[in-house]
Amino acid sequence: MHYTAPVGTPVDWFRAARPLAHANIAPPLVLGQAFAYAETGHFSWTAALMIHAFGVLDHLYIVFANDYADRETDADNETYTLYSGGSRVLVEGRLAPLSLRRAAMAMAGGMVALSIGWGSARPGFIGFAAVAIGLLWAYSYPPIRLSYRGGGEVLQALGVGVTLPLLGFYGQTGSLGAFPWAVLVPLWILGFAGNIVTALPDEPSDRRADKRTWAVVRGLRPARRHAVALIAVGAGLTYFVGPPSSVGARLCVACLPLCALAPSLLLIDRAEPAHRAAMLGFVTLLGGAISLVWIAWSIALFWG
């Protein structure tokens, strides 16, 4: 590991930022705002700007801090994909670990500063900043470090499936009193499944590092089947929960992700880390199915 690497080029920092990972951040924030619109009939573009600025800072904090925390495991990872195994900038010596650590701390500070700056309108924002910072710390850093001890799936489910939709809703309304709480059940399930999915390609290096991910503890084949089943359950539950909408809209929200999920069954037995094309296709289909829930539900709520 190169600890005295240069500051890095803009390309190196762009890679470290892992733009694809924002698919885990922006859609839940949009969905939270869609729930707010469905409940109140109002939408603020200023609030949306603040919410998504917070989301960008949170995203950068997560990817920078995770890259730093996992640098040794990532260095041993030979089965990484576009979605897993880190950005590789530390592994390749393009950035110094200390630089990335400082950048993560700056992003965390940015979330706190934004929350304080918007405190007069949304005083609860500082609480969301504290939760976002705490969840990542508990996920990747001692003494808790649940991504290694087992339980990282629960923390990602809380972050992606609970905290971000609540943040989007609160940012638009200034209150959580009218939030449709039942929607958090499928969203939590989808967040849990998302963690299983993105960890699948990394199972060999995670196993060697004694990182107790779902795939390491339960095996790759069961983990793949569990991920498919959880996504199907999460998508299906959307038909029954949330603000009132037409039967057609509810069917689209539930069925479109299942249509994306169906082709993954053709790859489920071949999606091994050694078979990179099959694994990449499988992970892409499952991740796409999860994203379709956020997107389809948001469209249905905004247009409903």
Which residues contact residue 56 at a Cβ distance below 8 angstroms, ignoring those fewer than 6 apart? 22, 25
Percent of the chain with pLDDT over 70: 98
Task: Return the pLDDT at 245.
Answer: 76
In this structure, are residues 290 and 160 in contact, taking their beta carbons and an 8 Å threshold? no
In this structure, are residues 156 and 164 in contact, taking their beta carbons and an 8 Å threshold? no
The answer as to whether 179 is a domain residue is yes
Task: Return the pLDDT at 232.
Answer: 97
The answer as to whether 19 is a domain residue is yes
Buried b (16+ CB within 10 A) or exposed e, 258-284: eebbeebeebbeebbbeeeebbbbbbb
Distance of CA 275 to the CA centre of its chain: 25
* DSSP alpha helix (H) spans, 141-275: 146-149, 152-158, 164-173, 184-199, 203-208, 214-218, 220-237, 247-261
Task: Show the domain range for 137.
Answer: 10-303
Helix, strand or coil, per DSSP, at residue 19 = helix
- Exposed / middle / buried, residue 210 (Cβ in 10 Å: 0-12, 13-18, 19+): exposed
Q: How many angstroms separate the CA atoms of 217 and 171, rounded?
A: 38
- Exposed / middle / buried, residue 66 (Cβ in 10 Å: 0-12, 13-18, 19+): buried
Give the model confidence (pLDDT) of 217-255 as tens digits. 999 999 999 999 999 999 999 999 987 778 889 999 999
The answer as to whether 4 is a domain residue is no
Task: Return the pLDDT at 242.
Answer: 81
Helix, strand or coil, per DSSP, at residue 6 = coil
Token pair for 79: 């089965």
Q: How many domains would you assign to the chain?
A: 1
Q: How many angstroms separate the CA atoms of 259 and 254, rounded?
A: 9
The answer as to whether 220 is a domain residue is yes
In this structure, are residues 236 and 181 in contact, taking their beta carbons and an 8 Å threshold? no
Q: How many angstroms separate the CA atoms of 275 and 154, rounded?
A: 28
The answer as to whether 147 is a domain residue is yes
Give the model confidence (pLDDT) of 44-70 as tens digits. 999 999 999 999 999 999 999 999 999
Q: What is the pTM of this model?
A: 0.95
Q: How far apart are the first and last CA of the chain?
A: 53
Task: Return the pLDDT at 2.
Answer: 47
Task: Return the pLDDT at 6.
Answer: 62
The answer as to whether 84 is a domain residue is yes
How does pLDDT run along the chain (304 residues), one tens digit per residue?
444 556 789 999 999 999 999 999 999 999 999 999 999 999 999 999 999 999 999 999 999 999 999 999 999 999 999 899 999 999 999 999 999 999 999 999 999 999 999 988 999 999 999 999 999 999 999 999 999 999 999 999 999 999 999 999 999 999 999 999 999 999 999 999 999 999 999 999 999 999 999 999 999 999 999 999 999 999 999 999 987 778 889 999 999 999 999 999 999 999 999 999 999 999 999 999 999 999 999 999 998 7
Closest to 42 in 3D by CA, of 178, 166, 162:
178
Classify residue 133 by its DSSP letter.
H
The answer as to whether 1 is a domain residue is no
> For 285, what's the count of Cα atoms within 13 Å in the CB-facing half-sphere?
22
The answer as to whether 33 is a domain residue is yes
Taking every pair of C-alpha atoms in the chain, what is the biggest distance, in angstroms? 59
